[in-house]
C-alpha cells in the first residue's frame, strides 16, 4: 500500500491490544462470577425460606397449639370469622325472607340466642304481625324443622336462605338457630360442645312446648350434625324424641373429621399429629362422637352426603351410616343414606339445589 506524503499509519501498540483483550476476558469472568454468586444467593435464600416455612408448619404451629389448646376451639367452631361484616339479622326481609320473624331466646341471664322463624308458604300469604301469632301457628299441625348449623362463620345459622325456602315450600315451619357466639347471639367468646348442645336443647324445648300435635324434626349440617345427633340421643333416651332426624354432610366423630379436613392435609404424615394437634381437641372437652350417639337414636333417620364434599369426606358419612345400621332393630325407625354424584357439584353445602330433595324429604 502506498502512502501519500504526510500520511501516517494508524496502529495500536501490541501492548495496548493485549490489555484490551485481557480486560474483556476479565469482564466476562467477573460477569460469570457475579451470575454464579447471584444464583448461589438465590438458592440459599430459597432454601432458608423453605426451611423457615417447614419449621413454622411442623414445629412452631404444633408446639403453639399443644401449649395453647384453646386455639383449636376457634378452629373447630370458627365463630370468630365474620363475613360479610355488620349484618343486621333483625330484618330477615333483607335476605329475601318475607314471612319471617327474628327473635331471641334467653337460656340464662347472661346469654341470648338469635333465631329466625320462617312460616310455611301457605301461611305466608297473610303473615301475622305480632310475635304471639307466630308461636300460635306452631300448633296448627304443620311440620316444624329446627335447623342446627355448622361452623361456617359467625352468621352460620341465619344464612342458608335457599334451604329455608325449600323447606317452607314443603310446608315446614323453619327455625334457624345461632348458638352462643354466632351471629348476634351472646355471650361472645369460645363456644363449647356442652354449651352449643344446651342451646340446641333449649330451642327444642321451646318449640315442643308450643307445637301441640305438630311433628318436630331436627336438621343438622356439618358440625351441626354432631350437635343434632347428641341432642337426638338425649331426647330419645328421655322419652321425648323428635319426629325424625336429618343429617347433611355429617361426620362420624370430631377426631376423624379433623384428620380428614383439608387443613390437616399438610400434617397427614406428621409423626406426632395426634399428640400435637388432635389431642388438643379433647383437651377442650370437644368430642362429638356421633358414631356412638347415633346408636341411641331410635327415630327415622336420613343422612345426605355429596361425593365431592372436600370439607367432610363422604367416607365419614358412610361410617356414620354404618354405625346407625348396626344398631337398628324392629322397634326403631328406618335409616336412609342418600348420596349425590360429584358431577353435580354440590360439595359441602349445596345439596339444597338437588331437584329431588323435596321428594326425599317427603319420604
> In sequence order, what are the beta bridge partners of 340?
306
Q: Is 222 assigned a catalytic role?
A: yes
Contact assessment for residue 276 and residue 270, using Cβ atoms and an 8 Å cutoff? yes
Whether 348 is a known active-site residue: answer: yes
Catalytic residue among 214, 222, 280, 290: 222
- Comparing C-alpha atoms, which of 220, 112, 111 is closest to residue 176? 220
CB atoms within 10 A of CB 279: 16
Q: Cell for 259?
A: 384428620
Options 178, 184, 291, 309, the catalytic residue: 309
Q: Can the peptide bond before residue 187 be classed as cis, meaning omega within 30 degrees of 0?
A: yes
Gap between the Cα atoms of 176 and 249, Å rounded: 17
Spatial distance between the Cα atoms of 250 and 348, rounded to a whole number of angstroms: 10
Cα distance between residue 58 and residue 159, in whole Å: 36
CB 186 within 8 A of CB 155: no
Which residue shows C-alpha cell 400435637?
A: 276
Q: Which residues contact 67 (CB under 8 A, 6 or more apart)?
A: none
* 2: number of Cβ within 10 Å: 4
248: β partners: 221, 304
CA–CA separation, 82 vs 95, rounded Å? 17
E strands, 70-172, in order: 100-108, 111-118, 144-148
C-alpha cell at 274: 395426634
**Selected catalytic residue, list 149, 159, 348, 352:** 348
Question: Does the annotation count 186 as an active-site position?
Answer: no
Nine cell digits for residue 189: 367468646
Instruction: Collapse the DSSP code of 84 into the 3-class scheme (helix H, G, I; strand E, B; otherwise coil) and give the result.
Output: coil
C-alpha cell at 289: 362422637
Residues identified as active-site: 222, 309, 348
Amino acid at each position: 500500500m502506498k502512502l501519500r506524503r504526510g500520511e501516517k499509519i494508524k496502529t495500536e501498540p501490541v501492548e495496548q491490544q493485549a490489555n484490551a483483550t485481557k480486560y474483556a476476558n476479565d469482564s466476562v469472568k467477573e460477569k460469570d462470577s457475579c451470575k454464579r454468586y447471584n444464583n448461589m444467593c438465590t438458592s440459599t435464600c430459597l432454601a432458608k425460606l423453605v426451611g423457615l416455612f417447614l419449621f413454622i408448619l411442623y414445629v412452631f404451629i404444633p408446639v403453639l397449639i399443644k401449649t395453647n389448646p384453646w386455639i383449636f376451639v376457634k378452629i373447630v367452631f370458627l365463630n370468630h370469622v365474620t363475613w360479610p361484616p355488620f349484618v343486621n339479622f333483625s330484618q330477615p326481609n333483607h335476605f329475601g325472607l318475607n314471612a319471617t320473624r327474628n327473635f331471641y331466646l334467653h337460656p340464662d341471664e347472661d346469654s341470648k340466642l338469635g333465631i329466625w322463624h320462617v312460616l310455611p308458604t301457605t301461611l305466608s300469604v297473610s303473615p301475622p304481625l305480632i310475635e304471639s301469632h307466630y308461636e300460635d301457628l306452631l300448633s296448627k299441625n304443620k311440620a316444624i324443622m329446627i335447623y342446627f348449623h355448622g361452623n361456617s362463620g359467625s352468621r352460620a345459622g341465619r344464612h342458608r336462605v335457599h334451604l329455608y325456602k325449600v323447606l317452607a315450600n314443603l310446608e315446614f315451619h323453619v327455625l334457624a338457630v345461632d348458638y352462643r357466639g354466632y351471629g348476634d347471639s351472646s355471650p361472645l367468646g369460645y363456644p363449647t360442645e356442652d354449651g352449643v348442645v344446651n342451646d340446641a336443647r333449649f330451642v327444642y324445648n321451646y318449640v315442643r312446648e308450643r307445637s301441640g300435635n305438630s311433628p318436630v324434626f331436627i336438621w343438622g349440617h356439618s358440625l351441626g350434625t354432631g350437635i343434632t345427633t347428641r341432642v337426638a340421643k338425649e331426647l330419645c333416651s328421655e322419652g321425648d324424641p323428635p319426629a325424625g332426624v336429618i343429617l347433611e354432610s355429617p361426620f362420624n366423630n370430631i377426631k376423624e373429621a379433623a384428620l380428614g379436613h383439608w387443613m390437616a392435609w399438610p400434617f397427614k404424615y406428621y409423626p406426632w399429629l395426634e399428640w400435637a394437634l388432635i389431642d388438643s381437641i379433647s383437651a377442650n372437652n370437644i368430642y362429638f362422637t356421633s358414631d356412638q350417639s347415633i346408636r341411641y337414636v331410635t327415630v327415622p333417620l336420613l343422612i345426605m352426603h355429596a361425593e365431592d364434599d372436600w370439607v367432610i369426606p363422604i367416607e365419614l358419612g358412610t361410617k356414620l351410616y354404618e354405625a346407625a345400621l348396626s344398631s337398628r332393630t324392629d322397634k326403631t325407625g328406618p335409616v336412609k343414606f342418600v348420596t349425590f354424584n360429584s358431577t353435580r357439584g354440590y360439595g359441602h353445602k349445596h345439596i339444597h339445589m338437588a331437584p329431588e330433595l323435596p321428594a326425599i324429604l317427603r319420604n
